[in-house]
Every structure is written in structure tokens, then in C-alpha cells.
């Protein structure tokens, strides 16, 4: 039976990424060595790193004056690296969900943190609007897509101070104006690569301004100077990222992916809104294109477990909602084919008929 992978992360990857990485793990470039056992200082791997960085910059149209880094530690490490490097006196944070809240909590270790707005009281079901960003803040931090609650900021905000964004789960899903951001970071395990590598896009001129000493490994300048190889990088995930970047370029870039993502999400949201059994949990105007969250309507709550089993029997993988919120979540990342969305819709219709 064909499996339809809606996992939230690690998640579906392009088939070419999986196949090419598997081949390289067995025998990289006919070298007789596995990618897993090659020196990261070899010419072969340096070429991988150089091409990955170049394609990353090309596909996102990153301007001069920005560095792209490939690091370890996940996005969660960035929750402390960002304030370590950028927070001198005050930072501003928009609290839109679990990960935004964790980033905010870490920043408080380094200085004053202003929560400019939060949707916590409404179970993070919407993106706050009409808030004021303090102009004396060192930076303003946002989480563009909220995987657990299914909301997304789908435009590049105008900020009077340096804008920092966690784009772990929607990077490469749409064109972005990188010049509006001082720093963008994310774990790669949603839209880019196997888990284990974290990307950072940082404006060089922002660095070296804080008065505190920064541990060597937590200083972005260390990794810029070392070309993301101050220490051994996560070689296999970086190679996987390169394969995905090639796939994106082959499709025609992020503008093509955005159109595909809008279509996939709209199909599923239309079914959720039509089907008597289900309802969406996010405010309509803030619905995510990446993580589509829904629950059973109140009168059908007792059917939740039954639908989960019904869907699993038909090849749906990973549609159970995050353990903290329950319900269902279909992650429709870049590599998820339209065919999988249609299969889930058919499954929902079939269950409705038998309910």
C-alpha cells in the first residue's frame, strides 16, 4: 500500500534527495568511500559545502553582505545563539506558539525581553496584529510558521528594528525578501534535509556589537570565518540539503512551490470546511500552508480515535495532532505531492459517508 507521509518533522523529502543521499552513503562519487566516512576537509566534501551555500543563496536571492551557515544544535540552539550575539539591552518577541515561547524564554537569560503580543489566551489560534514594536529594541523576533497550532505569517513584515525569524518549517515554501531580515534560522528537517543540520542566514554587519564575551562555538563569526567547518559539520544532512536545493531549482524555484503549496492547502481546507465531521482550529486569515490542523466537530468527538485508525489503514501517516493539542495535523510540506492531499480528502469523505 502506498504511504502518504504527513509527518510534521522529520518529514517527507523529495524522492531524489532520498535516493541520491542513499547512493552517496554507500559510495560517494565513485570514491569507494561512504559519505559518512569521508573527511569533511576533503576536496570532494568542500565542493558539496560550496555548492550547497551557493544554491541556497541563489534560490532565496540572498543579497551581498549576508552569510549562510550550516550548524548543529537544531533551531533550539538558535534560541540562545540569537540573543547571545544580538541582544545588548532589549529584545522584542512575538509569541505565536510553543516554539516562539521557548525562544522568548531563552532570550530572557541575556537581557530585557518585551513580549509585544501573544495569542496564548486563544490557544495560539491566530497571529496577533496591531502591536507596537519598541524602536529601542536590538531586534524583533518572529516565528513565521507555527507547526503545532497551524498558523503562519505569510508575508515579510516591516520592522523598525532588526527582524529575526525562525523559519524552520516554511523556508523555501515561498519567495522571501531577505533584505528585510537581519537573521533567519531554522532546523532543516521540514522542508530541506534530514534532521541534524541547522541553517542560519545572517547579515554580517550585525555581529560583534554586543559587549558580552561569547563562547567560541556560539559566536556566529567563528562559523563565518570557518566556512561552517570550525568543527566537523553534519555532512550527510548537508549533502541531503544540496539534493533538495537541486530539486527546488529544477522545479523552477520557490515561486513555483508557493503556487503548488497554496493549491494543496486550499484543497484540504475546503474539505475540512465542507465536511460535517471536521473543523479547522486556526483563524481562517492566518491558516498555515505547511501544517493544517483540524479536529472533530463537537458532536462527533467520540469518532476521533476511529478516524485515526481508518486513515492509517488507508496509508495516511503522521496525521495525529501534536500531543499537546490533540486532534489532527496534516503537514503539507514542499515535497508532499498533491496526490497525497487528494488521498486524505477521499479518506475524509469516505469516513463521513459511513459515520
pLDDT tens sequence across 300-330 = 999 999 999 999 999 999 999 988 888 999 9
Mean pLDDT of the chain: 97
Percent of the chain topping pLDDT 90: 98
Q: pTM for the full model?
A: 0.98
Tell me the fold of 254-354.
3.90.1150
Question: Is pLDDT at 213 greater than 90 in this prediction?
Answer: yes
Q: What percentage of the chain's residues is helix, strand, coil (to nearest 5)? A: 45, 15, 40
The one catalytic residue in 166, 170, 219, 286 is 166
Whole-angstrom distance, CA of residue 260 vs CA of residue 5: 17
Show me where the domains of the chain are located. Answer: 15-251, 254-354
Whole-angstrom distance, CA of residue 315 vs CA of residue 319: 11
Question: Is pLDDT at 231 greater than 90 in this prediction?
Answer: yes
CA angle 91, 207, 143 (to 5 degrees): 45
Whole-angstrom distance, CA of residue 264 vs CA of residue 272: 13
The one catalytic residue in 99, 219, 246, 320 is 99
Question: Is pLDDT at 264 greater than 90 in this prediction?
Answer: yes
The answer to whether 166 is a known catalytic residue is yes
The one catalytic residue in 170, 190, 203, 286 is 190
Query: Which of 189, 208, 206 lies closest to 198, judged by CA?
Result: 189
Question: Is pLDDT at 2 greater than 90 in this prediction?
Answer: no
Look at residue 324 in the predicted model and tell me its pLDDT: 81
The answer to whether 190 is a known catalytic residue is yes
Q: Strand, coil or helix: what is 311?
A: helix
CATH number for domain 15-251, candidates 2.30.40.10, 3.40.50.720, 3.20.20.140, 3.40.640.10: 3.40.640.10
Query: Which of 165, 147, 146 lies closest to 156, judged by CA?
Result: 165
The answer to whether 30 is a known catalytic residue is no
Look at residue 323 in the predicted model and tell me its pLDDT: 82
Amino acid at each position: 500500500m502506498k504511504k502518504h507521509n504527513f509527518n510534521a518533522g522529520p518529514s517527507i523529502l523529495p524522492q531524489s534527495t532520498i535516493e541520491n543521499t542513499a547512493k552517496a552513503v554507500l559510495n560517494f562519487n565513485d570514491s569507494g568511500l561512504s559519505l559518512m566516512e569521508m573527511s569533511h576537509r576533503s576536496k570532494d566534501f568542500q565542493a558539496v559545502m560550496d555548492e550547497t551555500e551557493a544554491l541556497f543563496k541563489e534560490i532565496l536571492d540572498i543579497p551581498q553582505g549576508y552569510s549562510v551557515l550550516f550548524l548543529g544544535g537544531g533551531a533550539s540552539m538558535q534560541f540562545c545563539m540569537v540573543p547571545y550575539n544580538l541582544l545588548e539591552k532589549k529584545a522584542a518577541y512575538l509569541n505565536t506558539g510553543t516554539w516562539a515561547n521557548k525562544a522568548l524564554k531563552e532570550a530572557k537569560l541575556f537581557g530585557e525581553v518585551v513580549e509585544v503580543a501573544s495569542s496564548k489566551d486563544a490557544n495560539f489560534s491566530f497571529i496577533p496584529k496591531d502591536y507596537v514594536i519598541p524602536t529601542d529594541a536590538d531586534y524583533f523576533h518572529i516565528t513565521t510558521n507555527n507547526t503545532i497550532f497551524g498558523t503562519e505569517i505569510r508575508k515579510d513584515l516591516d520592522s523598525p528594528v532588526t527582524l529575526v525569524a525562525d523559519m524552520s518549517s516554511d523556508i523555501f515554501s515561498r519567495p522571501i525578501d531577505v533584505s528585510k531580515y537581519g537573521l533567519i534560522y531554522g532546523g532543516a528537517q521540514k522542508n530541506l534535509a534530514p534532521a541534524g543540520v541547522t541553517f542560519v542566514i545572517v547579515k554580517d554587519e550585525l555581529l560583534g556589537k554586543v559587549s558580552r564575551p561569547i563562547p567560541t562555538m556560539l559566536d556566529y563569526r567563528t562559523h563565518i570565518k570557518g566556512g561552517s567547518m570550525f568543527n566537523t559539520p553534519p555532512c550527510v544532512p548537508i549533502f541531503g540539503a544540496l539534493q533538495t536545493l537541486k530539486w527546488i531549482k529544477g522545479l523552477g524555484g520557490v515561486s513555483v512551490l508557493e503556487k503548488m503549496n497554496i493549491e494543496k492547502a486550499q484543497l484540504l481546507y475546503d474539505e475540512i470546511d465542507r465536511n460535517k465531521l471536521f473543523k479547522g482550529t486556526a483563524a481562517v486569515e492566518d491558516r498555515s500552508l505547511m501544517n493544517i490542523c483540524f479536529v472533530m466537530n463537537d458532536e462527533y468527538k467520540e469518532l476521533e480515535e476511529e478516524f485515526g485508525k481508518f486513515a492509517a489503514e488507508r496509508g495516511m501517516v503522521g496525521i495525529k495532532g501534536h500531543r499537546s493539542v490533540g486532534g489532527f495535523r496534516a503537514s503539507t510540506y514542499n515535497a508532499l505531492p498533491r496526490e497525497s492531499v487528494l488521498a486524505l480528502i477521499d479518506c475524509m469523505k469516505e469516513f463521513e459517508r459511513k459515520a
